[in-house]
Amino acid sequence: MDWRQLWEIISAPDNVPIVALIPLLAFYIFLAWRQANANDQLIAQLEGDAALAKTHHRKAWPFQPGWQKEVHVWPFLLRMEFLAAIIVTIILMVWSITLNAPLEEPANPNLTMNPAKAPWYFLGLQEMLVYFDPWIAGVVMPTLIIFGLMVIPYIDTNPLGCGYYTWKQRKFAIATFLFGFIVLWVSMIVIGTFIRGPGWQWFWPGQTWDHNRLIYEVNRDLPDLFGITSNWAKGVFGALVVGGYYAVGGLVVHALYWRHNPKNYQRKSLLQYSLMMFFLLTMVALPIKILFRHLLHVKYVWITPWFNV
Amino acid sequence: MAERPVPQDDPVVSKSLAPHYVIAMVVLMATLFWALWDENFGQRPWKTFQQEWKTRYSVFLERARSKSSDSQKNVEGSSEYQALKTAYDQINQAASPHAREINEKLRDLSAQILAVQNIFTDRRAYVSALTYSIETETSASSRQRQQRNLDKYKQVVTTVEYPDGSRHDFNYDQLEENYNDLKNQRTALGTELVEVLKPLNTAKEKLDAYVSEHMVNLTPAQIRGLLNKTEAWSPQIQQINVAEANIVDRCESCHMGIREPVQLTAAAMSLRGKKPDEYARAFTSHPEPELLQTHDPEKFGCSPCHQGNGRATTSVEKAHGNYEHWLWPLFPKGNSEAGCQTCHAADMKLVSGDIEWQIINQGKDLYRQRGCMGCHRYEGYDKEPEDLLSIAQQIKQLEQQKKESLKQSAELMKQADAAASNEEANRLNDHAVALKVANSKVDLRIVQLDHASKSLLQDMKKVGPNLKDARLKLNRNWIPVWLKKPSAFRPTTKMPDFRLSDDQIKTISAFLWQSALTDALPKHQPGNAAHGKDLFETRGCLGCHSIGEGEQLEGAHFAANLTRVGEKDNYDYLVRWVHNARQRTRPYCPYEKKDIGPEDYKKKNLPYAFDLDHSRCPNDGHELQVQNMTVMPSLRLSVQDAEDVATYLVSLKRREPSEYPDASYMDDAELRNEGKKWVRHFGCAGCHEISGLEEEGRIGTELTVEGSKPIERLDFALLTEVAQRGGHEPITDPDDQARLPEGPARKPWYDHKGFFEHKLAEPDIWDQGKIKPETEKLRMPNLHMDKDQVQALTTFLMGSQESGLPLSYKYQPLDYRRDIQEGWWIVQKYNCVGCHQFTPGQKTALMSVRRYRDAQEQLPPQLLTEGARVDPEWLLHFLKNPALNDSDTNRNGVRSYLQVRMPTFSFSDNELGKLVRFFQALSRQPLPYIPEAPPPLTAKETEMARSLFSSTAAPCLKCHATGDPAHDRTATAPNFLLAKQRLKSDWMERWIIDPQAISPGTSMPSGLFKRENDRWVFSGPTPASFQGYDKDQSKLLVDYILQLTAEEQRRVAGAMDTHTRQVAARQPPRRWPLSNVNVLKNRVSVLMKFQTTEEVQNNMTNKMTKKLEIAILGLPLLAGVFSLAACGKKEPAEEQPAASTPAATTPATPIDPATAATVSGTVKFDGAAPKPAKIDMSQDPNCKGANAAENLVISDGHLANVFVYVKEGLGNRTFETPKDAVTLTQIGCKYSPHVLGVVAGQTVKIVNGDPTTHNIHPTPKDNREWNESQAPQAAALEKSFAREEILLPVKCNQHPWMKMYINVVKNPFYAVSATDGKFEIKGLPPGDYTLAFVHEKLGEQDQKVTLAAKDSKTVDVSFKQ
């Protein structure tokens, strides 16, 4: 094991945000979970006491008698926020004093770096390029991400859980978020930073990033696996598979959603529901494709002259 | 919220955040201060450097100032200064009253002007404003009105109050007039003051100039200036900004001392009593200030030469570029000369002033010598094949053009015949004629190109031998053994080790054997090996070749070591090679691409003869390669001599050729093709001529800009990680590891330096761990170089960069410097430096050869000022034919007395031209040179000049050859008759005045002329006819020599010899040292082939006896000189202990005279005393001393002339140099004393007590060499020796037997044993000492002795033969 290599990556000034991201993410999820848990218990208690539920707006558990039912933003929230602002200022100042901007040599068009990596916040997108063609990974997917994020308020019909931590009241939303953020975004950044070495090859942590490494890997298109040769047939087959995915996946999700989340289902219009379905299935498609690639060496599923999926 | 009481236990409401805020704010403020500190100091480490610089440099300057004022006092104490000072004072006194008066007037005037000025300028402003309104007023009436206002204003009267209190009223015009008047007065007074002070200022300037000229260091005033500057310094970035070259260097922000006018060393800049630290090393001044003179930092900055990140200021690592992302880190110390290569890639040799840049020069040279250029193209190296190709193409094109023109002109003429009108016909005819004329021009161009290609073919050389001759030359069975590992057979060979497998060796040797020519060589009879050995050692072969192995190795590594030549070479081939190495078996035609044989010549009915004069191909008329492509010249040996040398060389072997294992498989035709494949694969044709592979390209990568290749492009293969991490050296072979300049790698070496060093140390290193087929393995062979060579080549490659500087920064001179640049390529190519010295201090290969160690005058001439010395026309002639004679070529043209031979190099016309221009340019001589005829001499002048020429004080013909074989045998200088053609008269004049300055160490003595009344006057006695002659006597002599005829020379020589001949018979035959006899024998045998050896010897000794001279002049010896000589020996030893006091620099305990001890003793000689050798002094009739040699003086078993001194035990005591001089006398043509002791720096007074001219010539190792002539009764020479040196030999160029030894020691405790063997050293402080006893012949013995206070001990030693 080449721990020195790992240390070199971890200690690079470029990678400070990513390295920090991992423990911070864990910490804040833990914090959120603790708050949500407390709130959920309070909600349970309040639901048992109708009178209290009417007047109670402050979510704190265990709630002590005599505590105020409401606290004002000023000064109680703002003083905390200001303190946080000071601490963040300190962190940023120390960071900027101790670590210089990681500038490199002048760009040389005759000699590109290897691996050539995007800024850390784009590494997820770069990693997607491995699995989809540039049109899908570079244009369609980012657009869908933005639209998907924009659309959330309009398809979120759940009136509960606003302004406080809760799990029980927003299971679906939080699970979807965690899936999208941690699995699809953060983990891909982590892979791009720590796993992808020279030639964008997959190096496990502790493996030396050897520029001379040679691996043998053949990725085939899904139609090829089924012996389809004609281009037309490939397009039709791919469309069928993708369409089938959306149809079958939609049915499965529908069954689950309908069963576990009937209230929200009922609150949604058809447009809201189908939008949600589309974005959710597209999101899930990404890790499925990643698994297809890594486990089955499938390059593309749907091949057309204009795009490949 | 206010109405309800807040419960105390609600944490959100009740808990105070004050402590959190306090802590956060404190941390925030701390961070703020940290940020401020970082901004000011953390990011600006140079500020600390500059503060440190201020303190250290001030301390240094303070120290320097006190030293400097001491030396200023010394300067000011001199009489010249005092004279200047008195002059200055006088002028000062004369001028000062007047000056004071004018100054007072000026002061008054200035005050008056001030008073008027205030009022006047105010009024003038008003007038100007009014005038402007008038000018811009539109209506005439208002203009008039304004004009009236102005006139009125001008009439207004104002009062001026003068400084003395008086008041005056002026209107505007008066005021203006008054003001101008005052100002004019002031100007006049100012001019007057300047006039008055002028002589004073001139005197002051002279005074200051005198001080600064005579101070070795800076004057105190200058140092004070530096001190003030340093103290007033406030930290700031020091930046050199050259916009056009994009140089922004801030290096001097830390390296503050780089350009200071004083020499700063790390030790001088260290804190008192501390070792040099980081700061001290950063503050040193540039080690080569003269480099900065030619590379002005204001134009060049620092980074173009040194690299590094000139802009960075935040840390040392950043600034030096020692981080991953800076592509051009500072060149490491050992490779710093790589910086030269970035701009001086076109130079073969870098010499600044007369100092050579050894490392880069060695690198440049190795690149050629080791045959790197055979595989790797490098701009400028081995251009000939490329040029030849382009010329061939041009010729082809021109011929095509010619053909077409002919066709077209025929066509045109046909058209003209058929033309409708006469005009049309004429026009067409004219066109046709024009084409024909153009064709004749093309023809001329082709002739020129052919000529150029002849030169190129002649210049084209290969590093290795011609393998077409393999069959003729080599022992067949030796070839596989050689190929296995060339360095095993001959450790110094240029042929690298190719790591060949046995199969490869088999096939390669079979191919080489079968592809070689099979012509027959003429047979030769074996010669005389002893004579051959002698020729080999004396003719200068060792200037390029070496011989012997291990300790015995002698000579140069330019060409092969010949120790085992007998095992491999064919005798007949060797004879041809020694006779003329360029002689080729068959000529090669580059157009037909084949070797031309007799059959081709026969076809054209031509005789089968080819050489440089017959170099046209019989088939196509183009130039042929008629020479072997070797730089080995012809030594113009006769065939018989060549046979002798070859016989000697063939006798050199460790095993018999027949002992080699049989390799008859080399005749197996099946191996041939496989062998050719491998020969091609390994690029053998890069260095060798091989049949069928003449046009092979280079197999390696081009290296012209290898140093700027991105590191990613250098393939470290599986060792990338190892190199990046360091700590483990992949080269395990101890031989290869020893080649790494810095030893096994400890630190990371993932950089260009690391790559080159490892590659050169073990070229197949990147194959480590790789699995590759044989054909893909790295081909670069192991060049078996040593550390220094690897370092030099690494430096060369690191500097081979595509620099970002503008083209004008590259060294591409167009003037004489270009000739120098081009010349060095040739000089290095033919290894002229193996025999000749081109720059002072350059060591030639011959200098280190044992034979020449004591016979420096037998070395080839120094060429330090060759261009200024000789006529370029003559030089061209000489370089073409160094024998200067078409029939008798077995000789040297100029220095016929030298054993070593200037060979015939057969330079091409191109190279001849370049060489002549090179020598002229090296001495800055303008070209063309038009010699001036010497002015004709009057009869009286001729007579005077003749008396100088034949003066006994400067017997020119004693050393210079005359052409008379009897005389020339002892000559050591060229014949004067050559001077007319050869020398430039102005150079001759400078030469006879001070030859030592031109050619240090030459046998020609300095001091023949002295400066008197602004002209050069002969130092020796001159006849009465010289009275009233007021021109330069040196010039007279030169003019005489330039007009000297053979007849005149014979007459003068005859007159000088007359006396000697009469007594010759009475003198015993002169005994020559054996080696000299051999030398002479050879030379005579060359001249008189018909005689047997004994005859020669007899003949020679007879002739020699004629040379002997008797004393004719007996001047009474000066009694005073005798007495001086007698006491000179003991004097210093007795007096110095008292005078010695500890020096100021390193304090040592003073020697207390009360406790001083004495050592005395006797030096004995064990065994029978050999009879003292007799010296033959008959050469000079004025020499009438005792003729016993003094190298072993023994009487009654006591040994004299042993030098005894305290070698160890005095610690770091230093002693003051004794003020008294020691005297060395020349009396009876001997040095007296024979062994002299002197403290370093002490004056040695040299007196000539003989009626003949002596020539004192010390030949030290560690001191400065000089050589001066001393006429009889001339003033004593005062010399000193600065450095310790035991047994420093002193000889006399006039009298070869005169020899003595000076011992320069550091302390005054020494003695010389007297004839009774006794010696005594007094005044030693108590302690443990090592006494050394040194004798010139019997070596050194050391004795330990312990002395207590007031001790008196006896130490006896005895020497054995």
B96-121 residue pLDDT tens: 888 999 999 999 999 989 989 988 99
- Choose the weakest-confidence range: A85-94, B485-494, B588-597: B588-597
Closest CA to B121 of B163, B167, B183, B166: B183
B214 φ/ψ angles, rounded to the nearest 5 degrees? -95, 0
Closest CA to B513 of B454, B473, B569: B473
* Stretch (H or E) spanning B47: helix B45-77
Q: With the C-alpha atoms ordered B407, B409, B415, B417, is the resulting torsion angle positive or negative?
A: negative
- B869-894 pLDDT, tens digit per residue, is 999 999 999 999 999 888 888 888 88
Q: What is the pLDDT of residue B1110?
A: 33
Complex ipTM more than 0.95, yes or no: no
* Stretch (H or E) spanning A270: helix A270-296
For B897, the token pair is 């007395």
pLDDT band for B1090, please (50, 70, 90 cuts): very low
Alpha carbons B488 and B1247: distance in angstroms, whole number? 58
Instruction: Show which residues on chain B lie within 8 Å of chain A, measured between beta carbons.
Output: 1, 6-7, 9-10, 12-13, 17, 20-21, 24-25, 27-28, 31-32, 34-35, 38, 42, 325-327, 710, 712-713, 717-718, 720-721, 725
Answer with the residue of higher pLDDT: B1189 or B276.
Answer: B276
Q: What is the pLDDT of residue B1279?
A: 86
Of B13, B27, B325, nearest to A71 by CB-CB distance is B13
Q: What is the pLDDT of residue B1088?
A: 37
- Choose the weakest-confidence range: B239-248, B348-357, B429-438, B1089-1098: B1089-1098
Task: Answer whether residue B1004 shows pLDDT above 90.
Answer: no
Of B12, B24, B25, nearest to A76 by CB-CB distance is B12
Q: What is the pLDDT of residue A60?
A: 67
Q: Which of A8, A211, A213 to mutate to test the interface with B (most CBs of B within 10 A)?
A: A211
Q: What is the pLDDT of residue B843?
A: 87
Chain B environment of A1 (Cβ under 8 Å)? none
CA distance B687 to chain A (A): 34
Chain A environment of B9 (Cβ under 8 Å)? 64, 66-67
For helices B529-538 and B1074-1087, angle between their N-to-C axes, nearest 10 degrees: 100
Alpha carbons B675 and B670: distance in angstroms, whole number? 9
Region A46-73 average pLDDT = 71
Mean pLDDT taken over chain A: 89
Alpha carbons B392 and B371: distance in angstroms, whole number? 25
Region B418-434 average pLDDT = 90
Region B740-762 average pLDDT = 93
Region B62-87 average pLDDT = 85
Q: What is the pLDDT of residue B1164?
A: 87
Please give the share of chain A, as a percent, with pLDDT higher than 90.
56
Alpha carbons A15 and A21: distance in angstroms, whole number? 10
Chain A environment of B13 (Cβ under 8 Å)? 68, 71, 76
pLDDT band for A57, please (50, 70, 90 cuts): low
CA distances B1348 to B5, B1138, B1155, B1215, Å, are: 104, 19, 8, 21
B971 φ/ψ angles, rounded to the nearest 5 degrees? -70, 150
Residue spans of alpha helices (H) in B494-621: 502-515, 529-538, 565-568, 571-579, 598-603
The verdict on a CB contact (< 8 Å) between A68 and B21 is no
The verdict on a CB contact (< 8 Å) between B27 and A90 is yes
Q: What is the pLDDT of residue B1152?
A: 74
The pTM score is: 0.81
CA distances B1361 to B568, B657, B1170, B1194, B1343, Å, are: 44, 43, 9, 12, 19
Residue spans of alpha helices (H) in B686-782: 720-725, 734-737, 752-761
Of B38, B720, B725, nearest to A211 by CB-CB distance is B720
Q: What is the pLDDT of residue B1076?
A: 40
Region B80-94 average pLDDT = 88
The verdict on a CB contact (< 8 Å) between A105 and B326 is yes
Alpha carbons B298 and B239: distance in angstroms, whole number? 9
Please give the share of chain A, as a percent, with pLDDT higher than 70.
95
Chain A environment of B17 (Cβ under 8 Å)? 79-80, 83
Answer with the residue of higher pLDDT: B1103 or A89.
Answer: A89
Chain A environment of B710 (Cβ under 8 Å)? 108, 111
Q: What is the pLDDT of residue A8?
A: 87
Task: Answer whether residue B829 shows pLDDT above 80.
Answer: yes
Q: Which of B28, B715, B750 to mutate to test the interface with A (most CBs of A within 10 A)?
A: B28
Closest CA to B594 of B632, B614, B622, B574: B622
Task: Answer whether residue B1080 shows pLDDT above 80.
Answer: no
Answer with the residue of higher pLDDT: B680 or B355.
Answer: B680
Mean pLDDT taken over chain B: 85
Q: With the C-alpha atoms ordered B415, B420, B426, B427, is the resulting torsion angle positive or negative?
A: negative
Q: What is the pLDDT of residue B1057?
A: 64
The verdict on a CB contact (< 8 Å) between A97 and B38 is yes
The verdict on a CB contact (< 8 Å) between A76 and B38 is no
Task: Answer whether residue B1136 shows pLDDT above 70.
Answer: no
Q: How many whole angstroms from its chain centre is CA B304?
A: 24
Answer with the residue of higher pLDDT: B942 or B28.
Answer: B28
Task: Answer whether residue A52 shows pLDDT above 80.
Answer: no
Q: What is the pLDDT of residue B118?
A: 86
- B207-245 pLDDT, tens digit per residue, is 888 887 887 778 888 889 999 999 999 999 999 999 988
Region B667-679 average pLDDT = 93
Q: What is the pLDDT of residue B1075?
A: 40
Q: Is the peptide bond before B590 cis (omega within 30 degrees of 0)?
A: no
pLDDT band for A213, please (50, 70, 90 cuts): confident
Task: Answer whether residue B777 shows pLDDT above 50.
Answer: yes
pLDDT band for B1, please (50, 70, 90 cuts): very low
- Choose the weakest-confidence range: A251-265, B97-111, B496-510, B1214-1228: B1214-1228
Alpha carbons A161 and B1117: distance in angstroms, whole number? 130
- B581-620 pLDDT, tens digit per residue, is 999 999 998 888 889 999 989 998 889 989 888 888 888 8
Task: Answer whether residue B1120 shows pLDDT above 80.
Answer: no
Q: What is the pLDDT of residue B486?
A: 94
User: B36: nearest CA in chain A?
Assistant: A97
Q: What is the pLDDT of residue B1121?
A: 37
Task: Answer whether residue B271 shows pLDDT above 60.
Answer: yes
Task: Answer whether residue B1097 shows pLDDT above 50.
Answer: no
Of A76, A86, A97, nearest to B34 by CB-CB distance is A97
Start-to-end CA span in chain B (Å): 122
Residue spans of alpha helices (H) in B715-845: 720-725, 734-737, 752-761, 787-798, 816-829
The verdict on a CB contact (< 8 Å) between A210 and B720 is yes
pLDDT band for B148, please (50, 70, 90 cuts): very high
CB B982 within 8 A of CB B874: yes
Alpha carbons B687 and B677: distance in angstroms, whole number? 17
Q: What is the pLDDT of residue A190?
A: 93
Strand ranges, E, within B779-908: none
Q: What is the pLDDT of residue B487?
A: 93
